[in-house]
Amino acid sequence: MTDTTDKPGISAAIIVQDDKVLMVRRRISEGELMWQFPAGAIEAGETAEEAAVRETHEETGLTVEAIKLLGERVHPKTGRLMSYTAAAPLSGSAIVADEEELDAVAWVGLDEIPEYVPYGLFEPVQEYLDDTLTSRA
């Protein structure tokens, strides 16, 4: 497993709009990770929430505001320290703004999440989405 102290933490934004959550597909997967939430390294002097807002805008062109930090963990697939921030869209539309990093964006319904992330979500993120999104089953 990677030593979490030698790399900056990663901050992910959990963005809900119209009963769907925003997911992005990386050009280069990290092992099994293909689809994930907009995310990137936390820069010096930045909070996890600030990084989630900045990374979302850089990757997707969407301007969001942080609502609350949902939790942190060492990611079981990458060994990186991860922070997850609930965020709300303010302006813009989600597109592939950073073509070097992403090749697709998708708004995903609650029942579709397992198709995008078959190994399951971090429990606090899943609980937030369960509370926020309406199941269409």
What is the residue whose two structure tokens read 């995903």? 108
Give which of 19, 12, 52 is closest to 35, Cα–Cα: 12
| Number of residues written out for the chain | 137
Question: Which domains, from first to last, does the chain contain?
Answer: 10-132 (3.90.79.10)
Judge whether 110 and 130 are in contact, CB under 8 Å: yes
- Euclidean distance between CA atoms 57 and 28, whole angstroms: 20
- Euclidean distance between CA atoms 103 and 25, whole angstroms: 6
The model carries a pTM of 0.90
Mean pLDDT by 10 residues, the chain (137 residues): 65 96 86 83 96 97 98 90 97 95 95 92 96 74
